[in-house]
Structure formats: C-alpha cells, structure tokens
C-alpha cells in the first residue's frame, strides 16, 4: 500500500472554515413485517471541501444505504422517513421537499452508482445523458450542453469523445461506462460527489485509472468525495480519512495513516489482519473474524460486534458504546479498545 493521500493547502484552509457536509445521528429503519430493520443506526460524520472520506465495511454494513439516504433516494414507501440531519453547505437536506432536493441532485451533490452496467439509461445516448443535467441545472442550450458533454468525456479519458457521445451504453466497455457515469456526476461541478464502489467489477488496470481520474477531477473542481468501498487498499491510496461501518453504525473514524498504523476497534484490526501480504514465508491461511455480521433484524441491544469479539466484556452485551475520541482526530465506539 502506498502512503495515504495528503490534503492540498486550499483544502486544509477550507476545513478550518467548517465542514461542507455534516451528518448527525442519521437513522433509517426499513419495515419488513413482522420486523423493522435497523439499516442505518445513528451514523454521524463530517466531510470538508476538497477532502476524501472513505466509508468501509463488509457487505451489509449499511454503506450504500447511507449514501442513498444522503441523496434522499431511500424514503417511503421503501423505508421509514429517515431521522437525523444531513447538513450540506448549511442546508439540512432532510427538511427539503422533493422538488427542492431534486434541484440539488446533480448540481450540488452527485452520485456515481455502484453498477454502471445498469445505471445508465439504455435508450439514451451517452452524450445526451451527460448533457441533460447541464440543460436542467445550468440553463445551457442543447447545442452547448452537447459540446460540453463531449468535453467531459475527453476529461474523463475517453478517446474519440464525439463518437462515444453518440453511442448507446451497450456499445461501451465496463470501464468506459464507469467513466461516463463519472462524467455525468461531475458535469455540473458538484460540491459533493458520492462514489459508491466506483471500481467494482473492473480489472486492476482500469481500477487504477478510475481512481486517478477521481483524484484529478477533485483537484480540478475542488469537490469533496465520499468514497464507499470494501477495499482497504483503495482507501489507503486515495482517502484522507476513513470511517469504518459495522451493522449500520460507524465503529471507528480516523485519518488514514493513523487507522492503518494503530487501529483501535477490534473489528478494524480484524479487517486489516485479513489483507493478504506478500512475505517470504506466507501463512497457510489468512486470519479471519469468527462468526457472521448480524442481520438488521437480529442486532443485539449492546455492541453488535460483541458476539465476534475476543475482547468483549459483560457490559458490551448490555449497552452499545458511543463513538468517542481516543486520540486527536481518532474516534472509536468500543468499551475495551485496542492499545494505540
């Protein structure tokens, strides 16, 4: 793994002005009779301008549901109305009407969805899909937006952008579709980009190109990025800070270098221990975390990780710990954290 990303000087100055995004006690329950699933359970974090926050965790931990809630795409009848605050540039998105929120999607906040194969409209050309938000949000003419769409395709590294702009999604490779999705998300230069597993199902070479592209576009536009992934190697190379999710809650948050050097939550330490390493005498088997992630309808009253934790104490099963500071910039939700 390479060194963690370093915040540029202007991003550090922006951080001193206050967060671009502040999520406070975000809670999403999904009714599935006879249960109510606690999908996202009191999530809180902040994100500064020009910063990349990595959100990591196993499948089913609530990462994508958190992202969909931020975008106001997970509401009744799919789920109960979310509780908590999502304050973006001083506006609580949870209090906006759908018309008001629709005016922000694509302009102030955009999302790169997890599946480029299914997220693009199959009956619209790629260029039209990129141009559409610029016509709607920026008031550009169709002709000007079409020219800008070709320019966006060029910026994301697609050769012959004029030809690709006239093509339909099924004619593009997976990597090109992912680049097209990024072009759509960045067309209006949003302040916040939510990238949900942007390198899933791509080969290693294309993964590196996509991550380099996101970093380059971030430098160009100055957007903050919420990067959702299960790949800790991706986080190590691209993020400035990282938040670890487990069973719908954030259990640890820290600068990337601090988290990799001294993880404090037993779950985080287990995740890092499971990363394959090339050594002279490799271990015959990788370390594993025993047990399974509890389902949303099966979460205990106390710490959800306690049944799998070798450091669990009696109070761990009785009450869930709060996310508290253990070192400067480093928080963990654990009654018996690992030594720093």
Q: How far apart are CA 250 and CA 61, in angstroms?
A: 9
Domain boundary among 188, 203, 220: 188
Residue 82 has pLDDT above 80, yes or no: yes
What's the CA gap between 178 and 209, in Å, rounded? 11
Q: Specify if 321 maps to a domain.
A: no
Structural domain harbouring 69: 1-108+190-275+287-293
Domain contains 43: yes
- Please check whether residues 199 and 162 belong to one and the same domain: no
Asked whether residue 149 is domain-assigned, the answer is yes
User: Do 135 and 44 share a structural domain?
Assistant: no
pLDDT in tens, 241-293: 999 999 999 999 999 999 999 999 999 999 998 877 766 555 666 778 888 88
pLDDT digits (tens, 9 = 90+) for 230-242: 888 889 989 999 9
Q: Within a domain: residue 313?
A: no
Take residue 277 and report the two structure tokens written for it. Answer: 């390493």
Name the pTM for this structure: 0.89
Mean pLDDT in residue range 189-196: 95
- Same structural domain, 65 and 167: no
**pLDDT tens figures, 41-59:** 999 999 999 999 999 998 8
Residue 1 maps to a domain = yes
13 and 80 in a single domain? The answer is: yes
**Residue 156 and residue 211 in one domain:** no
Select the more confidently predicted residue: 314 or 287. Answer: 314
Domain annotation covers residue 114? no
Specify the range with the lowest mean pLDDT, choosing from 144-148, 152-156, 243-247, 298-302.
298-302
- Examine the fold and report which residue of 188, 205, 239 is the final residue of a domain before the chain moves on: 188
How far apart are alpha carbons 176 and 183 in whole angstroms?
10
- Residue 9: pLDDT band with limits 50, 70, 90: low
* pLDDT band with cut points at 50, 70 and 90 for residue 1: very low
Q: Which residue has the higher pLDDT, 118 or 249?
A: 249
- Are 182 and 214 in a shared domain? no
Is there a single domain that holds both residue 172 and residue 159?
A: yes
Please tell me whether residues 32 and 43 are part of one structural domain: yes
CATH code for the domain of 259: 3.40.50.300
Indicate the number of domains in the chain. Answer: 2
Q: Do 25 and 96 sit in the same domain of this protein? A: yes
Evaluate whether residue 249 is within a structural domain: yes
**183 and 197: one domain?**
no
Q: What per-residue confidence (pLDDT) applies to 77?
A: 82
- Is 35 inside any structural domain? yes
Where does a domain end: 171, 188, 205? 188
């Amino acid at each position: 793994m390479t060194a963690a990303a370093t915040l540029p000087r202007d991003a550090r100055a922006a951080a001193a002005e206050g967060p671009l995004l502040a999520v406070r006690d975000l809670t999403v329950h999904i009714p599935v009779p006879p249960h109510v699933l606690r999908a996202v359970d009191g999530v809180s974090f902040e994100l500064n301008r020009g910063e990349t926050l990595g959100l990591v965790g196993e499948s089913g931990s609530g990462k994508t549901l958190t992202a969909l809630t931020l975008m106001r795409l997970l509401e009744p009848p799919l789920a109960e109305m979310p509780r908590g605050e999502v304050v973006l540039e001083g506006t609580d998105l949870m209090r906006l009407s759908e018309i008001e929120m629709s005016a922000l999607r694509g302009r102030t906040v955009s999302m790169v969805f997890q599946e480029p194969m299914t997220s693009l409209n199959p009956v619209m050309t790629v260029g039209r899909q990129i141009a559409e938000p610029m016509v709607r949000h920026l008031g550009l003419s169709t002709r000007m937006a079409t020219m800008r769409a070709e320019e966006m395709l060029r910026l994301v590294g697609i050769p012959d952008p004029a030809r690709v702009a006239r093509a339909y999604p099924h004619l593009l490779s997976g990597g090109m579709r992912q680049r097209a999705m990024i072009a759509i998300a960045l067309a209006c230069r949003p302040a916040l980009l939510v990238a949900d597993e942007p390198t899933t199902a791509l080969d290693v070479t294309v993964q590196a190109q996509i991550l380099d592209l996101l970093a380059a576009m971030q430098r160009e536009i100055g957007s903050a990025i919420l990067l959702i992934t299960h790949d800790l190697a991706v986080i190590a190379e691209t993020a400035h800070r990282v938040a670890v999710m487990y069973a719908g809650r954030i259990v640890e948050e820290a600068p990337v270098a601090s988290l990799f050097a001294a993880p404090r939550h037993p779950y985080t330490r287990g995740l890092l221990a499971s990363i394959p390493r090339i050594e002279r005498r490799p271990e015959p088997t990788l370390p594993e975390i025993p047990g399974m992630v509890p389902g949303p309808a099966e979460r205990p009253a106390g710490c959800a990780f306690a049944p799998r934790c070798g450091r669990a104490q009696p109070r761990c099963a009785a009450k869930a710990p709060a996310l508290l500071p253990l070192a400067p910039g480093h928080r963990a939700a654990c009654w018996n954290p690992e030594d720093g």
